[in-house]
Amino acid sequence: MTVTSFKIEKSGCSECPIRHKALCSRCEPDELVLLEDMKSYKTYPAGTTILWTGDQMEFMSTVVTGVASLSQTMEDGRRQMVGLLLPSDFIGHPNRDISQFDVVAATDVTLCRFRRKQFRELLIESPNIVGRLLEMALDELDAAREWMLLLGRKTAREKIASLLAIVAQREAALRLQEAAGQTQFELHLTREAMADYLGLTLETVSRQMSALKREGTIVLKNKRVIVVPNFAKLMDETGDDSDGGLIV
Amino acid sequence: MTVTSFKIEKSGCSECPIRHKALCSRCEPDELVLLEDMKSYKTYPAGTTILWTGDQMEFMSTVVTGVASLSQTMEDGRRQMVGLLLPSDFIGHPNRDISQFDVVAATDVTLCRFRRKQFRELLIESPNIVGRLLEMALDELDAAREWMLLLGRKTAREKIASLLAIVAQREAALRLQEAAGQTQFELHLTREAMADYLGLTLETVSRQMSALKREGTIVLKNKRVIVVPNFAKLMDETGDDSDGGLIV
DNA sequence: CGTCGGCTTGATTGTGCTCAACCCGGGTGG
DNA sequence: CCACCCGGGTTGAGCACAATCAAGCCGACG
């Protein structure tokens, strides 16, 4: 177990960084005490596979810190990422004990875990948790469906622009700003990860990135940090309608 | 209101054809009485759009009979189906009052509906419903993610074979059989609907169907009824691993 | 009989994949 | 210190698969 996880293990739920967003966000103080008893933390180094397709899932987990990816692989190696797990996102299925996907730590990842059996009992007793879990599942479902449009119908160019726009908006939201005018953000993904996410090859990703650079839509500061001089111009490339396709 | 819906309106929940699968499947008799009071039926003819993207959603609904599709459309007309709604499937989001997708009746469709406001109160009081809804949402999420692999990574041939295999398995399950050896089923979808579902053009769908026919993988009985002489041969074309990629 | 929707088939084009070479920066070890 | 390697990234040439454009078929229905 690493040092980071140890620090977290000392602190209670009330100091948890994702307290207001995770499945426990609606819990009353007395319910939190219950959770406090059951939970355990575990940290995985970047690059580790947390769960393979077909693995037994002894635990239900919430991402506390770090980023993990959910992906599927075909026999011949073709791979598709089907979800990005950010802090507060949930891993597990109360009624299925076998993982349907590979879960890979993209950065160092710390999970807050509950044993399946205990968790199921918890669900029966705690409507606040079930309700929040339902809400989160429905949000994930909508996100997955949005992504299906991208995978099925967008061109390579539009896919790249969409990904960049989404990451930019997410980072802006963290700073409580809106992505508009000049924006700057960090892209943690390798070209290969982008390709897996978008259903492209890494060469196509590289080519389209170069094209966007050449045309001045984006400027690369240092391979990871991207500057968007004019966010509207990037949005034009996504293929979405003017309001960004998002219901705000 | 059509004749079919009138018949349904007369019968109570206990005679409902989807009683054992829908969101009410775990309800006790006393809870059913509650639902009985709140519900109303509505039938839409084939081809009708039940809900447009951006529409206010006054009702939360369950499909009782028929098939509807969930889809997204881009400005320029490109369209992607993101879900198929079969009997017992649920439409609506307790915490969102605006539809994110177009909902179109593929066949005549009858919905069992609850008013949003009432439904939300119901959720607070009835853990059996929330629990069932969570289960259904997680199943949908897994299905959506499976579909993302198909959209992002499979070839046209594999997409068609996968669709046929899935429909065949579903129909077999209805007859409490397993798809194996010689199988036969009905495909309600037009070529265009298949294309929208698979992220292809209808010409490509037609060509691949012809190819599968030519090679003897499938036999068309009468444009809608498809015979699969050897189910394993069809599975070979899907690109999935031998066990069908399904966790049984 | 003509029309119309759903479907098939053909010819051509083009986007994105494949294969391949090469660049760049950061370790590592002789 | 330099040589080497290795992972991530870029770029090019050629190809293949699916999209596009276009014509025609078939069965239903007015």
The integer distance in angstroms from the CA atom of B208 to the C1' atom of C10 is 15
Q: Tell me what pLDDT residue B154 has.
A: 98
Interface residue of B72, B90, B130, B134 to substitute, partner A, most A CBs within 10 Å: B134
Q: For the segment A127-143, what is each residue's pLDDT rounded down to a tens digit?
A: 889 999 999 999 999 99
For range B175-204, the mean pLDDT: 90
Percent of the residues in chain B that have a pLDDT greater than 90, as a whole number: 67
Mean pLDDT value across chain B: 89
- Average confidence score pLDDT of chain A: 89
Q: How far apart are CA A44 and CA A85, in angstroms?
A: 14
Res. A170: pLDDT tops 90: no
Residues of B in contact with A78 (CB under 8 A): 153
**Is residue B161 scored above 50 in pLDDT?**
yes
A223 CA vs C26 C1’ separation (Å): 15
The pLDDT tens digits for B103-115 are 999 888 999 999 9
Rounded to whole angstroms, the Cα distance separating B102 from A60 reads 34
Q: In residues, how long is chain A?
A: 248
Q: Which residues contact B119 (CB under 8 A, 6 or more apart)?
A: B38, B60, B92, B94
Count CB-CB contacts under 10 A for residue A122. Answer: 20
User: Closest Cα partner for B196 from B81, B105, B69, B106?
Assistant: B81
Q: pTM score, two decimals?
A: 0.91
- Calpha distance A139→B20 (Å, rounded): 26
Res B11: pLDDT: 66
Residue B1 has pLDDT above 70, yes or no: no
DSSP codes of every residue in B91-136: E--TT--B-SSEEEESS-EEEEEEEHHHHHHHHHH-HHHHHHHHHH
pLDDT in tens, A15-61: 898 998 899 998 988 888 888 889 999 999 888 899 999 999 999 99
Give the pLDDT score at B8: 59
pLDDT in tens, B126-154: 888 999 999 999 999 999 999 999 999 99
For residue B215, name the pLDDT band (cuts at 50, 70, 90): very high
pLDDT in tens, B65-95: 988 999 999 999 999 999 999 899 999 999 8
Q: Is A195's CB less than 7 Å from nucleic acid strand D? A: no
Whether the CB of B151 is below 8 Å from some CB of chain A: the reply is yes
Of A14 and A80, the one with more pLDDT: A80
Task: Give pLDDT tens digits for A197-226.
Answer: 999 999 999 999 999 999 999 999 887 899
Q: What is the mean pLDDT of residues B1-10?
A: 48
Whole-angstrom Cα distance, residue A239 to residue A213? 18
CB atoms within 10 A of CB B191: 16
Asked if B148 contacts A147 with a C-beta cutoff of 8 angstroms, the reply is yes
